[in-house]
Every structure is written in structure tokens, then in C-alpha cells.
């Protein structure tokens, strides 16, 4: 629920006239989407960019997305010792971590990340440019079918970048190419860099936090702790945010948790530079999970020495399903990025809430404030509505841009009726696409 009652904060008659400072500035044009071949980190990569967000995919490195850049900062990790390297798809490297985003199948007791039918560490994957329009580009990265433990499986990742938004759609399609039914789930990973490489000290840690929705029972947050053995000694866990969000403030102490919340998203925030990355998917609440896993997991590494690499791994797991020969299991997830400094209290497809809408009396005025990260170029407009949802006052439109944290500070005129406030978001085309609160 994103509406916030003004009456709950101050009497309705105290809402004041006029608008205060509106964050924003001149409208920003949305460049066309561009897909091109580039030399990057020693690889031949495919770059997709829309001027707000830049992705780089490497067919030779298991078809992974190894870069997600916003505001000149890259959220994804590339392990330094693997830069520019590649392995044959028919080889079975014992342990390869390129970083970035990749897909495996589970359960882990049968298919660990280094023992998959298709090889997520080998290459090259086939790259197919499916859609190439100024407002939308779609790229597919397709594995060869691989056989392991009598199962033959292929995998495809379809990545869609749109104009004027940091919303990226990633469709993961795993197909049973064998002759027998196969039970599995789709299990994907995003490895986030926890080192700030712009400072001279070796492996200085970013001020990195991860936010995970968790269920609440009897006023307590509920989540499964795999590591450490005694979660009470884990100083990285922060349960002080609103009761349905767990914060993990990375401090190079190993940890792994799983959440079975009804909201399927996980967010990473670098509090120094402000980049924020969210991945979300539509999960089946009735899906069967095994081994105590999923559907949301977060792993933090403990490697901080010269040979190690501090990172956080954000994992999403679909429910296990039986897949007949020739059939596929599909998993659609969405990525979003913006600049804000957290914490992430709420997520929606239009943005994240760092400070909720609040109304405070100021003389005869009422000052309404809030702080947000947004995923679309466009405008925000504060509306005051009556009990029937009819608009009785609205602000001037305020320009929003994913590359800037959006701070709301508005004075609202007095209203005689009971009123609520709604921060409504429109894209550059003037289409209403959601609300924040």
C-alpha cells in the first residue's frame, strides 16, 4: 500500500498553500537503444546501452552478463584472475568464477554450479540479435546442448533493454533435450563487486548493503541462516528496518541466508557511490523448493586477502518442476538500477523507497517529504485525493531521472476534506506507470 494518509500526520486543515522546492531540472531526452560489439576486459563483448544503463555480455565466458553500469560505476563483479580468459564448452573446469550473471539448474545436491549438463563456464555461446528497434533491443545467448548424468539440457538467456528506463527483462529458458523426463529448477546468480577499485588501498570494501524482503511471524523476521552457525554473532545482519525487510551490511564476514517471503526481489546498494541494483521475478507461491533453499538467497564471501575477492552473490531460485522431453522451464526476471543511497524500504517497478512520504505541519503549511530512487525518465507528481480517490490538489510535475536520487519537498495547500497523498510516476510519454510512497 503506497497511499499515505495526510490526516494521520497533521490535521487536514493544516495543509499549506504553494509548492516548496521540487527536485529535478530540465527534461532529459531518452537516447535510442544501441547494441554493438566492443573489446572489453580482454574479451569480445556485446554491449547494450540506452544512455541510462549499460550491459556487457561475453559469449566466450559462458554467455554471461559481466557488466551492469550506471552513473559510471559497475555493480557486477569480474574476477581479476579470469579477465579475458575462456574455456572450451566441452571442457569441465573444476572451479571457474567469472562473476556477473549466469544461470544453472538445481537442486544443488544433484547439480552443483561446476557440474551442469550445459557448461555455464565454457564458450562461446551463440549470440542472436532478435529485436533491433530504437526503443527496444533484444539479445539472446544460447548454449549448446550438453549431457551430464544421463541428462541433456540446453539454456538460453534473452535480454531486453528499453528506451528511457533501466528496467531490463531477462528470460531464462532451460530445455530438456534428452529422451527422459527431468526434474529441476532454474537457479541464477548475480555476483556483485564488494571492492571499491577507485581507491588506492588493496581491496578496500565498498559500503555495500543488501536488502531482502522476509516474512514476519509474531513480530520477528523469519529467514533461514546457512552460515554462520550462530546467526546471533553475525554483525552484518540488521533487523532494525521495517519488519518485512532484512538488511545485510557486508563486512567481509561469510554469510548465507534464504528467504521465503511473498515478495520476490533483492536489492544491493553502494552507499558511497549511490548505485542501486534490484533483481526481481514473479514466483509461484506454491512452488516446491528443496534442500531448504530459495526462492531468494544471499551469499557474502569472506575473501579479503590479496588472492581473494570480496563479493556478494544474489540468487533467485524457481520451484522444482518435472519437464518432459522437448519441454522447457522458463524463468522471467527483471533488473532495475538507479542512483540512491538507501536503505531500500520498499520496491515497485517504478522505483525504490528510501524515506517514506511524510507530512509535517509547518505553521499554516504542511511540508511533504520523501526520498526515492527511480527507474524511468519522466515526471513525478504529488496528488492529494479525497476518500473517493478524486484529486483535490496536485503539484507541478517534477523531473525524475534514474541517475539522480529523487528528493521530494513540497508544500501543499489546506484541505477541508480527509485526504491522502499519492506520488504518481509518469514515463516520458506521459503514461502513468505507478506510484511511490
Let me know whether 405 and 280 are in one domain. Answer: no
Spatial separation of the C-alpha atoms in residues 126 and 128, rounded to whole Å: 7
CA angle 188, 192, 194 (to 5 degrees): 150
DSSP line for 272-311: TT-EEEEEEE---TT----TT--SEEEEE----STT---E
Closest CA to 277 of 340, 213, 196: 340
Confidence of residue 90 (pLDDT cuts 50, 70, 90): confident
Condensed to tens digits (0 to 9), the pLDDT of residues 98-116 reads 999 999 999 988 998 888 9
Spatial contact of 411 and 384, defined as CB atoms under 8 Å apart: no
Res. 423: pLDDT tops 90: yes
Condensed to tens digits (0 to 9), the pLDDT of residues 368-378 reads 999 999 999 99
Let me know whether 24 and 61 are in one domain. Answer: no
Work out the average pLDDT over 42-54. 97
The residue among 316, 339, 362 that closes a domain is 339
Q: What is the CATH number of the domain that holds 110?
A: 2.70.98.10
Let me know whether 83 and 136 are in one domain. Answer: yes
**Owning domain of residue 39:** 34-339
Let me know whether 164 and 276 are in one domain. Answer: yes
H or E stretch at 128:
strand 126-133
Q: What is the CATH number of the domain that holds 350?
A: 2.60.40
Q: Pairing mode, if any, of strands 4-5 and 420-427?
A: antiparallel
Let me know whether 103 and 80 are in one domain. Answer: yes
pLDDT score for 78: 93
Measure CA of the first residue to CA of the last residue in the chain; give whole Å: 8
Let me know whether 161 and 245 are in one domain. Answer: yes
pLDDT score for 262: 81
Let me know whether 401 and 317 are in one domain. Answer: no
DSSP state of 406: E
The residue among 274, 306, 339 that closes a domain is 339
pLDDT score for 418: 61
The residue among 284, 305, 339 that closes a domain is 339
Res. 308: pLDDT tops 80: no
Spatial contact of 415 and 392, defined as CB atoms under 8 Å apart: yes
Let me know whether 21 and 72 are in one domain. Answer: no
Spatial separation of the C-alpha atoms in residues 266 and 211, rounded to whole Å: 6
Closest CA to 113 of 323, 238, 299, 355: 299
Q: Which residue has the higher pLDDT, 13 or 320?
A: 320
H or E stretch at 329:
strand 328-339
Condensed to tens digits (0 to 9), the pLDDT of residues 331-350 reads 999 999 999 999 999 999 99
Residue 32: CB atoms within 10 A of its CB come to 14
Number of domains in the chain: 2
Closest CA to 43 of 15, 28, 62, 30: 62
Res. 94: pLDDT tops 80: no
Condensed to tens digits (0 to 9), the pLDDT of residues 361-412 reads 866 778 999 999 999 999 999 999 888 888 889 999 999 999 999 999 999 8
Bridge partners for 316 per DSSP: 188, 296
Let me know whether 187 and 258 are in one domain. Answer: yes
Q: How far lies 398's CA from each of 26, 73, 166, 351, 395, in Å?
A: 9, 26, 19, 15, 8
The whole-chain average pLDDT of the chain stands at 87
pLDDT score for 100: 96
Amino acid at each position: 500500500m503506497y497511499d499515505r494518509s495526510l490526516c494521520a500526520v497533521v490535521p487536514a486543515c493544516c495543509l499549506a498553500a504553494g509548492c516548496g522546492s521540487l527536485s529535478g531540472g530540465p527534461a532529459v531526452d531518452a537516447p535510442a537503444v544501441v547494441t554493438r560489439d566492443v573489446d572489453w576486459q580482454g574479451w569480445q563483448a556485446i554491449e547494450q546501452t540506452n544512455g541510462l544503463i549499460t550491459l556487457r555480455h561475453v559469449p566466450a565466458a559462458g554467455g554471461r552478463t559481466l557488466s551492469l553500469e550506471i552513473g559510471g560505476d559497475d555493480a557486477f563483479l569480474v574476477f581479476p584472475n579470469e579477465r579475458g580468459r575462456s574455456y572450451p564448452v566441452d571442457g569441465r573446469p573444476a572451479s571457474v568464477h567469472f562473476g556477473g550473471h549466469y544461470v544453472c539448474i538445481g537442486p544443488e545436491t544433484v547439480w552443483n554450479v561446476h557440474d551442469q549438463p550445459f557448461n555455464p563456464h565454457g564458450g562461446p555461446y551463440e549470440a542472436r540479435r532478435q529485436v533491433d528497434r530504437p526503443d527496444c533491443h533484444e539479445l539472446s545467448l544460447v548454449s549448446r546442448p550438453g549431457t551430464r548424468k544421463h541428462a541433456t539440457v540446453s539454456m538460453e538467456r534473452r535480454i531486453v533493454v528499453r528506451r528511457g528506463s533501466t528496467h531490463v527483462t531477462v528470460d531464462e529458458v532451460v530445455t530438456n533435450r534428452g529422451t527422459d523426463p527431468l526434474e529441476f529448477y532454474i537457479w541464477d546468480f548475480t555476483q556483485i563487486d564488494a571492492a571499491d577499485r577507485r581507491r588506492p588501498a588493496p581491496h578496500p570494501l565498498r559500503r555495500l548493503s543488501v536488502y531482502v524482503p522476509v516474512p514476519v511471524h509474531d513480530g520477528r523476521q523469519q529467514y533461514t541462516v546457512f552460515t554462520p552457525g550462530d546467526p546471533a554473532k553475525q554483525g552484518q545482519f540488521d533487523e532494525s528496518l521495517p519488519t518485512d525487510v532484512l538488511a545485510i551490511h557486508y563486512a567481509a564476514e561469510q554469510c548465507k541466508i534464504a528467504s521465503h517471503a511473498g515478495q520476490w526481489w533483492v536489492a544491493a546498494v553502494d552507499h558511497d557511490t549511490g548505485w542501486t541494483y534490484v533483481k526481481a521475478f514473479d514466483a509461484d507461491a506454491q512452488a516446491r523448493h528443496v534442500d531448504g533453499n530459495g526462492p531468494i538467497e544471499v551469499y557474502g564471501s569472506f575473501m579479503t586477502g590479496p588472492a581473494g575477492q570480496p563479493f556478494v552473490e544474489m540468487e533467485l531460485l524457481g520451484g522444482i518442476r518435472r519437464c518432459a522431453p522437448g519441454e522447457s522451464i522458463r524463468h522471467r526476471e527483471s533488473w532495475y538500477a538507479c542512483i540512491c543511497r538507501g536503505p531500500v524500504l520498499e520496491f515497485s517497478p517504478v522505483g525504490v523507497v528510501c524515506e517514506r512520504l511524510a507530512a509535517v505541519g509547518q505553521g499554516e503549511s504542511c511540508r511533504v517529504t520523501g526520498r526515492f530512487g527511480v527507474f524511468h525518465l519522466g515526471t513525478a507528481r504529488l496528488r492529494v485525493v479525497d476518500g473517493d480517490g478524486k484529486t483535490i490538489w496536485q503539484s507541478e510535475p517534477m523531473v525524475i531521472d534514474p541517475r539522480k536520487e529523487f528528493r521530494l519537498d513540497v508544500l501543499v495547500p489546506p484541505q477541508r476534506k480527509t485526504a491522502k497523498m499519492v506520488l504518481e510516476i509518469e514515463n516520458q510519454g506521459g503514461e502513468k506507470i505507478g506510484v511511490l510512497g
